[in-house]
Amino acid sequence: MPDSAARDLTKLRIDRGIAPIARRRRRKWIWLAALLVVVAAAGAWLLLQPRVASVQTTPIVTTYPSQQFVVLNSTGYVVAQRKAAIASKATGRLEWLGVAEGSRVKEVAVDYTQIRAPFDGVILSKSANVGDMVTPFSSATDSKGAVVTMADMSTLEVEADVSESSLGKVKVDMPAEITLDALPNDRFRGRISRMVPTVDRAKATVMTKVKFDAIDPRVLPEMSAKVSFLSQDVSSEQQKPLVAVSADAFAQRDGKTIVFAVRNGKAVAVPVTPGQKIGDLTAVTGDVKSGEKAVLRPDAKIADGSAVKVESK
């Protein structure tokens, strides 16, 4: 073989360092392409997700038309104005007791050793039992004074305190609305029958006596009561509950008045019919209920089914 040919063959060598570099470059491009695919897929997923709108809400509540006439609110208790502790005129042992708590009794006569009711009423409490010694002065050891305490249930009134700074807002014969903690769904009409002409120095209040227009048999002495003093008399129709919401929750869609009720994270368009204004609220009829939340001042971007997030105040 000529020397020139041998020299040319020695130049034909494979550079084994080039192949790993090429493989590394190829893997780098594969990983970069895969990353781009993932980023593109994530972007497409985000674009396909529903947009969540941040909104403020207002409560849908139960209200009463009579509340728009409230001048002053107070609290108190139901009290029987005619009440008596019944005892014997003579000292002796109680041989028989024909009543118990809740018994209704009638007024006929009072003997020295026979205890009778002085007026029609209901037995509130029993202080003695058969075998007990009773005495009109309860001075003897282990003796009882009053045998029973009774009340005339037709004289039930609410005693409510009014601060002396608010006395100018109330007067005798002023109409009132009474609610009882024991009967929260009922509202009773009444009026101020009289005001005690003295101020409680410790509380700086004056006691008002509020008489029921009609006594409900469910009303009992010592029930907790809330009294709303009204600027005018109200009818039974005005004491019926209504569902109401702020007028700022109303929106117009396709010629209809709607509110967007927030249900399960979405704004649900509910057609409503606005009614009378009750203070800052407006009564509505429709498929909404007290306790729900409605979107406040909904803009044109809010539609039926829009995903919403309630802003924290």
Q: In whole angstroms, give the CA distance from residue 260 to residue 148.
A: 60
Same domain, 232 and 163: yes
The reported pLDDT for the residue numbered 55 is 84
Cβ-based neighbours of 292, under 8 Å, separated by 6 or more: 59, 60, 261, 262, 263
Tell me whether residue 46 is in a domain: no
Q: Can you list the residues of the chain whose pLDDT is less than 70?
A: 1-28, 40-50, 84-150, 313
Cα 304 → chain centroid? 29
Q: Is residue 75 domain-resident?
A: no
| Residue 8 covered by a domain | no
Per-residue confidence (pLDDT) for residue 87, from 0 to 100: 62
**Residue 252 belongs to some domain of the structure:** yes
Q: Pick from 236, 260, 282: which residue ends a domain?
A: 236
Q: At 258, which CATH number? A: 2.40.420.20
The answer to whether residue 262 is domain-embedded is yes
Residue 259 shares a structural domain with residue 220? no
Answer for the pair 234, 50: CB distance below 8 angstroms, yes or no. Answer: no
Same structural domain, 94 and 142: yes
Residue 276 located in a structural domain:
yes
Domain final residue, candidates 236, 267, 293: 236
pLDDT number for residue 109: 41
pTM score, whole prediction: 0.65
Q: What is the number of structural domains in the chain?
A: 3
Which pLDDT score is estimated for 248?
A: 92
Q: What is the pLDDT of residues 168-194, one digit of tens each?
A: 999 999 999 999 999 988 999 999 999
CATH classification of the domain holding 230 = 2.40.30.170
Co-location of 245 and 283 in the same domain: yes
- Considering the domain architecture, whether residues 187 and 161 belong to the same structural domain is answered as yes
Indicate whether 162 and 196 sit together in one domain: yes
183 forms beta bridges with 180
Would residue 189 count as lying in a domain?
A: yes
**Alpha-carbon span 198 to 190, nearest angstrom:** 22
Residues 164-175 pLDDT 10s: 999 999 999 999
5 lies in some domain: no
Cα angle 180-183-189, degrees, rounded to a multiple of 5: 55
- In a shared domain, residues 226 and 262: no
Residue 134 vs residues 105, 106, 126, 148, 235: alpha-carbon distances, Å: 20, 22, 13, 11, 51
| Residue 119 sits in the same domain as residue 185 | no
Q: What is the pLDDT of residue 300?
A: 84
Q: Domain boundary at 100, 121, 151, which?
A: 151
CATH number at residue 128: 2.40.50.100
| CA–CA gap between residue 265 and residue 253 (Å, rounded) | 21
Q: Identify any residues that bridge with 151 across adjacent strands, giving them in sequence order.
A: 83, 122
Same domain, 147 and 160: no
- b or e along 214-242 (b: 16 or more beta carbons within 10 Å of the residue's beta carbon)? eeeeebbeebebbbbbbeeebeeebbeeb
Same domain, 230 and 249: no
Token pair belonging to 114:
């026979």
Domain with 207 in it: 156-236
255, 285: one domain: yes
Are residues 264 and 300 both part of a single domain? yes
